Amino acid sequence: MKKRKLGRSNLEVSAVGLGCMGMSFGYGPAADRQEMISLLRTAVERGVTFFDTAEVYGPFTNEELLGEALSPFRGRVVIATKFGFKLDPNGGPKWVGLDSRPQHVKQVAEASLKRLRVDAIDLFYQHRVDPEVPIEDVAGAVKDLIREGKVKHFGLSEAGAQTIRRAHAVQPVTALQSEYSLWWRSPETEVLPTLEELGIGLVPFSPLGKGFLTGKIDENTTFDSSDFRNVVPRFTPEARKANLALVDLLAGIAERKKATPAQIALAWLLARKPWIVPIPGTRKMERLEENIGAAAVDLTADDLREIESATSKITVQGARYPEHLGQMTGR
């Protein structure tokens, strides 16, 4: 597996990482723990060195899963986790708001270190921008943790250009995690140029459009009742039917390249910038192999022009989040 550096930092990771949320949370019932441990360890054997989790996934169970699965590989893998949600004080499975107060950030770090079974968190992201806490205070809290040796790198998630600049001035930001794919290209306007200027890496989550760009979902697909795609406007049957035009485009190029639509979608991201590292998630061994294979797919300048020209004529239907979640992005 090829390696990439996240921006101008010295954090080197596999060109394709692994998003682990869906193993415990979000996409229906949690998967079998032993199967996921096996999947995570296979990923390391296949060259994946970058794993993404968060305290809120479960909550807590996803970090515990990674802590157990990856403990034999300490020093060989990079684990990113996140802070910034306020969890249900009664121990329920839901978060009840945002909380990036410095004191809370430090408490989360201590707890995550134990669950992940590590001495330092490789990359610690603010999960969502907290409008109640100045980003300078958040960056300062992580700076303290870095000084104490408990965190190695600071990251932001779904933050806008202004927030990124303000945070970076206090504590250099190594990576921004944001949704970015052929069906969500909003970061290209302001965020990508800001990252390039400041030397910050981009870690696209949902690089396969929450599974849609794989070509395995159509307007007749049904999801488990606990799958959050049930409430996503972009996943209404009408939107899915309209958005298949994008999948058809990928399938055509995939056929020519002897690849799959998912591999073309990931290869497109990898071709955008050398400091972009997508983190597709999966629970299936064959999908893991497929996603890893994307790093070897070479899209030519002509391929990229063809994708650009064709996608410019396709308008993706449906909002990417329900309204109450769509507001949780920083400026």
pLDDT score recorded for residue 187: 97
Give the rounded percent of residues in the chain with a pLDDT score beyond 90: 94
Cα 29 from Cα 282, distance rounded (Å): 14
pTM of the model: 0.97
Closest by alpha carbon to 151, among 49, 62, 79? 79
What pLDDT score does 94 carry?
82
pLDDT, tens digit (0-9, with 9 covering 90-100), for 78-123: 999 999 999 998 887 789 999 999 999 999 999 999 999 999 999 9
Active site residue 57: yes
Task: Tell me if 296 sits within 8 A of 47, measured CB to CB.
Answer: no
**Which domains are seen in the chain, by residue range?**
3-209+272-297 (3.20.20.100)
pLDDT grade for 285, boundaries at 50, 70 and 90: very high
The per-residue pLDDT for 93 is 78
The active-site residue out of 57, 125, 180, 321 is 57
- Give 171-230 as a DSSP string: S-EEEEEEE-BTTB-GGGTTHHHHHHHHT-EEEEESTTTTTGGGT---TT----TTBGGG
> What DSSP state is assigned to residue 316?
P
3-state class (DSSP) for residue 276: strand
